[in-house]
A and B are shown apart, each in its own frame.
Chain A
Amino acid sequence: MNPNVEQSRTTATEATEILLRLRVNRRDVSVAARPNATLLSVLRDTLQMTGTKCGCGEGDCGACTVLLDGEQVNSCLFLAAEAQGTEITTIEGLSPNGALHPVQKAFVETGSIQCGFCSPGMILSAKALLDRNPDPTDEEIRNALAGNLCRCTGYVRILEAVRRVAHPELPRRVEEGESDDTFSVVGKSVPKKDAADKATGKATYTGDFRLPGMLRGKLLGSPHPHAKILSVDTSEAEALPGVHAVITAKDVPDVPYGVSPARYDEQVLAGDRVRHVGDAVAAVAAEDDDTAERALELIRVEYEILPGVFGIEEALDPGAPQLHDAYPRNINTEIHHDFGDVDKAFAEADLVREDVFRGQRAMQIPLEPHVSLARVESDGRITIWTANQAPHYVQHQLSRVLDVPMGRIRVVKPAMGGGFGGKAEATSLDFCSVILAKKTGRPVLMEFSRKETFLHGRGRHAQVIRLKTGVRKDGTLLAVQADITLDGGAYTSFGIITSYYSGVMLTTPYRLPNFRFDGKRVYTNLPACGAMRGNGTPQPRFAFESQLDLIAADLGLDPIELRRRNALHTNDLTVNEFQITSCEFQQCLDLVEERSGWKEKRGKLPFGKGIGIACGCFISGAGYPIYRSSFPHSSAIVRLSEDGTSAMVFAGAPDIGQGSDTVLCQMAAEELGLRYEDVSIISSDSAVTPTDLGAYASRITYFAGNAVRDAAAAARRAVAEVVAEEWGLPVEEVSFRNGHFHSPDGSRTRSIQEAAALAFGRRGPVVGKGEYSPPPLGGKFKGAPIGTSPAYSFCAQVAEVEVDTETGTVRVTDFYDAHDCGTVINPMNLHGQVEGSLVMGMGESLWEEVIHKDGRIVNPNLHDYLIPTAADAPRIHSFVVKSYDPGGPFGAKEVGEGASLPVMGAVANAVANAIGVRLTELPITPEKVLRALGKIPPDAEGPGTAVCRL
């Protein structure tokens, strides 16, 4: 053998493992690996160092970044064999003695970590940059981090973290909305509970579990958008060595499932028909991913191809192929709302405008793809770990479909890499991992690839929005008639709810006495659309906020003034019966007008530069659950430790990266008089945490917050009773402040710690429980529950843009957001949510679109589906106004989705202001801008551009 050639020990079989000598984090390790093994798979699977993540497998996202000899590399594209002879540094190597590396520390302290899935890679990229360039410019930082995608933070704080490492002397940023001393823990920008674990790679995400005997499962998806399944032959796949089980429709219950009980239209595995490319037909469990994927190739499915429908108009066409027999003309749902007297109002209006707008199909792109891991316990109980925003609904659906009582199903949501609405329902991964685990007796881990997340869908619906709006000369809104049609894809998912939301929220944040809404959701042979951040409302907001600017121009009014004249106020009841319990929307308008320099800029900027406003209002949790249930919407237990020095919160509420664990701990600490550091949380493990409906509808701060606050108060009362007993006083005479119980005359005090220890000694476990459900809300008409909420947040946003009128490129330079979200529990987290919303919304405004041709998605990856990078992040100015909601915990309301509503409208209005032409279709791509500017011959082929001349 030639000594100058490193090669496999024998080359007779290609699968023969070779011995690799690697140096990882300053330690030499020898591992046996196949020649084709990537460095990522050797790190994660062979060495079980799971701090390095996989978000795409194609070198686009950077979650797998490691350092080779100090330089950033995508380990998913690097053969392990070629890493020999280099010094490999993974995130685990950055804090060998447990002390955070300065970059990790800065990420934790600046709030740069939300879901944390990108953090290990991002931190290593930052470290590599700072090692070669200790004082990088802003551009150099952005360039170094542009290969690490983040979907949560909008990059603002990450860029700041790197600057702070380079310049430790910089003073700590004072967050807008830092509270005075009303509270001791609430209102403070404490670092997230899980930030350090996420910074060091210790946080265990679902895909990081390595259980003994664990198998890997994979789904076989349909290659056709619409077809009958004639036969499925799994014999060859089953015969492949390393394959443990193959299942098809005949092995799974024939029980349809979904989100809305009225529309359970999905099957665990398709039996007779597939309705979109990727529709799951079979599943395999095997020793490893490679074997599972090879087995999929050996499954023979005979299809009879059916004609498909791929757009709204096509689907509604009489004679169009039908997706579901029960829904003729492919109409999944129809909505007809009519409040007040719309026709009379139009007749009386001084101006009536009719405009049509279009919103695109978009995707959430959390950095962590969907993943489930199931294990069947010896007594038959099921445990499933799942990256899911609503684990309770997974438990509910598993119970329904598999006919197992909920009490025998344990659903755990480990650390989670974001969701944004795309992981809010049970998937075939959840069902199949459990069924395969039952069948094999082994734990089964199933993950989507990035492409599969696109084929699974559940992103934002494409919408066609027709708006007719009547106003008085002074700008007073008289009536809106909205006709909204949504392209739903092949199944219902959240679509009924999304369809309602698309219209009903148009009665906010402006007073609107007359409102008519005709909605329609249409089935097409594309992946199902679901509940992406803002669930149906951001595109109609784009439409309405665009139309308001058109109206302002028609009437000669300033756009902010027009909005101010119509603003909702506290105690308003909207025409569709939403009760506004607190509203500081006018303050938002005033603040954003002042801080953005609106008056100095609007109308005074040169051609190509523009400034625009848009506003929004969102629910702080939904008034009603998705399925009828007597359960509280949120519930929690708080337990003080036996020695009284700490407390543990048990709450079903899932932290998916948004920081709910942190704010719930802050609320418990405040109520108990403990320090933030002394309160911990176990969330989303149904074996120990009581039910919560989940992380959707922006509900956790308000709903779970109330439950946790009540639980903490109950725990404190239990302690107070023992103190009262000891002091011989009635319990109501014992007061509590600053962490101490006091007798009325002040002669006796006891700290919560001493008192809790005493209470445990006398009465056993010191536990309090709390639950929250909103009061009955809303009207009696069909669909009245959708849009009801115990409280509404409000915001006003201004965008500033620069348009390159030669190429059509739009660059957002600045966003200003003023928010009424009630009392701020954690300003750093809050601004992080706003920043992430703005940058996600910017991507949707400018680039993001799922493009499909003949039912096939053309861009199911992160180099063709473009989300913003660190190089694109605009300057963000996030403000909060003073506000208090009477029903919210400490007066708090939501922020996580509300901030995403106005973005597309603000950008569109700014672009119109910059170039004098309004684009009415999202996204506002350079090509559409250039067409709108008349720089491409109107008859030239390419996407049409709907515009309004101003």
Chain B
Amino acid sequence: MAMPAFQFHRPRRLEDALALLGDAGADGLAKAGGTDVMVLLKHAAVAPRVIVGLSALPELKGIRLENGAVSIGAGTTIAELESDPLLTRHARGLVDAAHRMATVQIRTVATAGGNLASAAACGDLAPVLIALGATLHLRSSRGKRVLPLSDFFTGPRTTVLAPGELITRLQIPAAEPGAASSYVKFGYRGGSQIAVVSAAVSLVHENGAAKRVRLVLGAVAPVPFSVKGASVLVGRPVEGPALDAACAAAASECRPISDIRGSESYRRAVVPVIARQALELAWRRSRGIES
């Protein structure tokens, strides 16, 4: 498969990257790990004149705890997410999601920011990051802005990113006592699978009840979304009729499409199963039953 021609730049400073992207405007493309972009390029689904490689930018690296939040460089690879001790403590569900994504080869190269920017409806990181209340730090040559990840996606493969704008960091609140998260992905194969349905949960356990619960579904709507009906669990243990009601809400709120991986009605049938698994896993974790 042929690659289209393009100019390639690999700046070493963020401001150079932003300047290059700013100059290129709509003809420019930022490339992080490139595991998605390279396939799009080969299929001529994108045809930029200029590609700016982000792999040499130190500003996009590193996972650190600062000001009560975990700050993740957008250039952090999925493999780095998978093995990070800070994330294991504060965002276990993100570690789950990283571990279940694609293949080791892809995870070695693909990045957190790239995965979000590619905005596939079946993307693995977005549901759990939304559940964890992540915010994104965006930069361009014109300035910077911060927005919640839940406002980032506008549809399959589309986001609010303006031409020349980059995700630089992701931030998630540090886990409070009793907090736990989970990500359950349902696909067909044992390895290297695309999510047919995915569910992410972030909750806080207090005195035998869920103080806060967020259930986010992936691959069953144009963009990942929070299940409103999951609020039925607030103030209750994650079990019994309340759990049933939350799962039923997941099924009724999802808006899946039919594609080669399954029909709308099939996905709707599987959503409550996967939602329940994610809720139960997070609930067990919040009580220290399962690490």
The answer to whether A and B belong to the same complex is: yes
Which A positions have Cβ atoms within 8 angstroms of B? 2, 4-8, 11, 14-15, 18, 34-38, 57-60, 62, 65, 68, 71-74, 76-79, 81-82, 125, 128, 142-144, 146-147, 289-290, 292-294, 449, 806-809, 846-847, 851, 858-859, 863-864, 866, 868-872, 925-927, 930-931, 935-937, 940-943
Query: By the criterion CB–CB under 8 Å, are B258 and A941 in contact?
Result: yes
Q: Given A78-B34, A143-B191, A146-B190 in contact, is the A937-B265 Cβ separation under 8 Å?
A: yes
Query: By the criterion CB–CB under 8 Å, are B104 and A146 in contact?
Result: yes
Q: Given A7-B9, A59-B105, A82-B55 in contact, is the A851-B260 Cβ separation under 8 Å?
A: yes
- Quick one: which of A36, A58, A72, A935 has the most chain B CB within 10 A? A36
Query: By the criterion CB–CB under 8 Å, are B11 and A36 in contact?
Result: no
In the complex, which residues 169-204 of chain B have their Cβ closer than 8 Å to any Cβ of chain A? 186, 188-194
A931 to B266, CA, bound (A): 8
B12 within 8 A of A: yes
- Quick one: which of A15, A65, A146, A870 has the most chain B CB within 10 A? A146
B38 within 8 A of A: yes
Q: Given A147-B102, A147-B103, A941-B263 in contact, is the A79-B7 Cβ separation under 8 Å?
A: no
B195 CB, min distance to chain A CBs, angstroms:
12
Residues of A within 8 A of B55 (CB): 82
Query: By the criterion CB–CB under 8 Å, are B192 and A869 in contact?
Result: yes
> B189 is contacted by which of A290, A449, A869 (Cβ under 8 Å)?
A869
A4 to B19, CA, bound (A): 12
Query: By the criterion CB–CB under 8 Å, are A36 and B263 in contact?
Result: no
Known: A77-B38, A937-B265. 16 other contacts (CB 8 A): A2-B11, A4-B12, A14-B49, A59-B38, A74-B35, A78-B34, A81-B53, A125-B105, A147-B102, A147-B192, A289-B2, A871-B190, A926-B266, A927-B262, A940-B264, A942-B266
Q: Given A74-B106, A77-B35, A125-B104 in contact, is the A35-B191 Cβ separation under 8 Å?
A: no
30 contacts between A and B (CB under 8 A): A2-B16, A7-B10, A14-B5, A35-B6, A36-B41, A38-B3, A57-B1, A57-B42, A59-B38, A59-B39, A74-B106, A74-B109, A76-B38, A78-B34, A147-B103, A449-B1, A806-B270, A808-B266, A808-B270, A846-B188, A859-B260, A866-B189, A868-B189, A868-B190, A871-B189, A930-B270, A931-B266, A940-B263, A940-B264, A942-B258
A2 to B266, CA, bound (A): 55
Query: By the criterion CB–CB under 8 Å, are A15 and B5 in contact?
Result: yes
Please count how many residues in chain B sit with their CB below 8 Å of the partner chain's CB atoms.
55
Q: Given A71-B79, A77-B109, A147-B192 in contact, is the A5-B9 Cβ separation under 8 Å?
A: yes
A802 CB, min distance to chain B CBs, angstroms:
13
Residues of B within 8 A of A292 (CB): 2
A893 to B106, CA, bound (A): 43
B213 within 8 A of A: no
Residues of B within 8 A of A864 (CB): 194, 260-261
Binary interface profile of B, 90-102, with partner A (CB < 8 Å = 1, else 0)?
0000000000001
Query: Closest chain A residue to B34 by CB distance?
Result: A77
Query: By the criterion CB–CB under 8 Å, are B7 and A7 in contact?
Result: yes
Query: By the criterion CB–CB under 8 Å, are B190 and A78 in contact?
Result: no
Binary interface profile of B, 47-80, with partner A (CB < 8 Å = 1, else 0)?
0010101011000000000000000000000010
B269 within 8 A of A: yes
- Quick one: which of B10, B39, B266 has the most chain A CB within 10 A? B266
Q: Given A4-B12, A14-B6, A72-B105 in contact, is the A930-B49 Cβ separation under 8 Å?
A: no
A766 to B111, CA, bound (A): 64
Q: Given A4-B13, A866-B189, A869-B190 in contact, is the A81-B273 Cβ separation under 8 Å?
A: no
B85 within 8 A of A: no
B4 within 8 A of A: yes
Query: By the criterion CB–CB under 8 Å, are A72 and B10 in contact?
Result: no
B248 CB, min distance to chain A CBs, angstroms:
14
Query: By the criterion CB–CB under 8 Å, are B106 and A82 in contact?
Result: no
Query: By the criterion CB–CB under 8 Å, are B38 and A866 in contact?
Result: no
Residues of A within 8 A of B252 (CB): none
Instruction: Tell me the number of A-to-B contacts counted with CB atoms below 8 Å.
Output: 192
Q: Given A8-B8, A14-B7, A927-B262 in contact, is the A79-B53 Cβ separation under 8 Å?
A: yes
A859 to B20, CA, bound (A): 37
Residues of B within 8 A of A78 (CB): 34, 38, 109
Query: By the criterion CB–CB under 8 Å, are B191 and A871 in contact?
Result: yes
B108 within 8 A of A: yes
A943 to B259, CA, bound (A): 11
Which B positions have Cβ atoms within 8 angstroms of A? 1-13, 16, 20, 31, 34-35, 38-39, 41-42, 49, 51, 53, 55-56, 79, 102-106, 108-109, 186, 188-194, 258, 260-266, 269-270, 273-274
Query: Closest chain B residue to A927 by CB distance?
Result: B266
Query: By the criterion CB–CB under 8 Å, are A809 and B188 in contact?
Result: yes
Q: Given A293-B2, A851-B260 in contact, is the A58-B42 Cβ separation under 8 Å?
A: yes
Query: Closest chain B residue to A870 by CB distance?
Result: B191
A79 to B41, CA, bound (A): 12
Query: By the criterion CB–CB under 8 Å, are B263 and A927 in contact?
Result: yes
Residues of A within 8 A of B2 (CB): 289-290, 292-294
Query: By the criterion CB–CB under 8 Å, are A36 and B269 in contact?
Result: no
A499 CB, min distance to chain B CBs, angstroms:
28
> A4 is contacted by which of B11, B108, B191 (Cβ under 8 Å)?
B11
Residues of B within 8 A of A851 (CB): 260
A847 to B189, CA, bound (A): 8
A555 to B75, CA, bound (A): 65
Residues of B within 8 A of A5 (CB): 9-12, 16, 20
A467 CB, min distance to chain B CBs, angstroms:
29
Query: Closest chain A residue to B39 by CB distance?
Result: A58
A207 CB, min distance to chain B CBs, angstroms:
14
Query: Closest chain A residue to B42 by CB distance?
Result: A57
A540 CB, min distance to chain B CBs, angstroms:
26
> B190 is contacted by which of A65, A858, A872, A936 (Cβ under 8 Å)?
A872
Residues of A within 8 A of B103 (CB): 59, 62, 146-147
Query: Closest chain A residue to B12 by CB distance?
Result: A4
A547 to B35, CA, bound (A): 46
Q: Given A4-B12, A942-B263 in contact, is the A77-B39 Cβ separation under 8 Å?
A: yes
Query: Closest chain A residue to B15 by CB distance?
Result: A4
Residues of A within 8 A of B41 (CB): 36
Query: Closest chain B residue to A36 by CB distance?
Result: B3
A82 to B109, CA, bound (A): 11
The 3 A-B residue pairs with the shortest CB-CB distance in the complex, in nearest-first order: A146-B191, A147-B103, A942-B263
A57 to B41, CA, bound (A): 12
Q: Given A5-B11, A65-B105 in contact, is the A59-B263 Cβ separation under 8 Å?
A: no
A125 CB, min distance to chain B CBs, angstroms:
7
Query: By the criterion CB–CB under 8 Å, are A936 and B269 in contact?
Result: yes
Residues of A within 8 A of B38 (CB): 38, 59, 76-79
Query: By the criterion CB–CB under 8 Å, are A37 and B190 in contact?
Result: no
A292 to B261, CA, bound (A): 34
- Quick one: which of B16, B103, B262, B266 has the most chain A CB within 10 A? B103
Query: Closest chain B residue to A865 by CB distance?
Result: B260
A60 to B194, CA, bound (A): 11
Residues of B within 8 A of A142 (CB): 190-191
- Quick one: which of A18, A59, A847 has the most chain B CB within 10 A? A59
Query: By the criterion CB–CB under 8 Å, are B39 and A147 in contact?
Result: no
> B186 is contacted by which of A15, A125, A807 (Cβ under 8 Å)?
A807
Residues of B within 8 A of A144 (CB): 104
B88 CB, min distance to chain A CBs, angstroms:
17
Query: By the criterion CB–CB under 8 Å, are B10 and A81 in contact?
Result: yes
A357 to B110, CA, bound (A): 43
Q: Given A36-B3, A74-B105, A869-B192 in contact, is the A82-B10 Cβ separation under 8 Å?
A: yes
A870 CB, min distance to chain B CBs, angstroms:
6
> B191 is contacted by which of A6, A68, A79, A869 (Cβ under 8 Å)?
A869
A568 CB, min distance to chain B CBs, angstroms:
37
